[in-house]
Chain A
Amino acid sequence: DTAVSQTPKYLVTQMGNDKSIKCEQNLGHDTMYWYKQDSKKFLKIMFSYNNKELIINETVPNRFSPKSPDKAHLNLHINSLELGDSAVYFCASSPRQGASQPQHFGDGTRLSIL
């Protein structure tokens, strides 16, 4: 019964390709997030959605486009992949927005660009 699940777990692809990562949460949470962890293990917020509406876009290149078809899903589509996009991407969810809300993370999608 995985709470936050991401697919695929591993993604190896060539520079210039377009790829998508899917995220689903079965916790009934309203808010979902995408984070990126680079090769130096630094974790950084990318996007946040609340009830399917975008509330955070942290100056991410517009090659990255999140989509939330419903509040249980937040997918990440990446166009024209570049070498610098190689990283681990984590999806997370929380009951609501707000500073007291704990976030639940998926196990990550390891993206490698050749």
Chain B
Amino acid sequence: DAKTTQPNSMESNEEEPVHLPCNHSTISGTDYIHWYRQLPSQGPEYVIHGLTSNVNNRMASLAIAEDRKSSTLILHRATLRDAAVYYCILRAPYNQGGKLIFGQGTELSVKP
């Protein structure tokens, strides 16, 4: 499975946009880009996923570079409840059973 690289930690101010980067230079053409987050003392939570085009949902936006070697998760207005570890994960169609392979993620802190 292709690897992702994320900053260990980021800080944001409440009500400001947050851009969480992810590098995946060895991505293959059929890998999906998934984002999950884990709030303290909770299970991981699905945020968004995409293949080639940018994606929006009620939680966030996903911007995918044209060459697909990087992507950015955008939280449009950070709230204190967005403080969590954010994981960028690549999933290959041939990946048996669709398992998620978690890296270390980015720990986002949000200041009031």
Does B99 have its Cβ within 8 Å of any Cβ on chain A?
A: yes
Q: Which residues of B contact A (CB under 8 A)?
A: 30-32, 34, 36, 38, 42-46, 49, 51, 85, 91-93, 95-102, 104
Contact between chains at A100 and B49 (CB < 8 Å)? yes
The smallest beta-carbon distance between A66 and chain B, in angstroms, is 13
A residues 39-88 with Cβ under 8 Å of B? 41-45, 48, 50, 55-56, 58
Q: How far is the CB of B68 from chain A (nearest CB, A)?
A: 14
A102 adjacent to B99 (CB under 8 Å): no
A contact set with B: CB distance below 8 Å? 4, 31, 33, 35, 41-45, 48, 50, 55-56, 58, 90, 92, 94, 96-108
23 A-B Cβ contacts within 8 A?
A31-B98, A33-B97, A41-B85, A43-B44, A44-B102, A48-B98, A48-B99, A55-B96, A56-B97, A58-B99, A92-B43, A94-B98, A99-B91, A99-B95, A99-B98, A100-B32, A100-B49, A100-B51, A101-B98, A102-B34, A102-B46, A103-B46, A104-B46
Closest B residue by C-beta to A101: B98
Given the known interface contacts A41-B85, A103-B46, A105-B45, the answer about A98 and B93 at a Cβ–Cβ threshold of 8 Å is yes
Query: Nearest Cβ distance between residue A109 and chain B, in whole angstroms?
Result: 10
Q: Which residues of A contact B43 (CB under 8 A)?
A: 4, 90, 92, 105-108
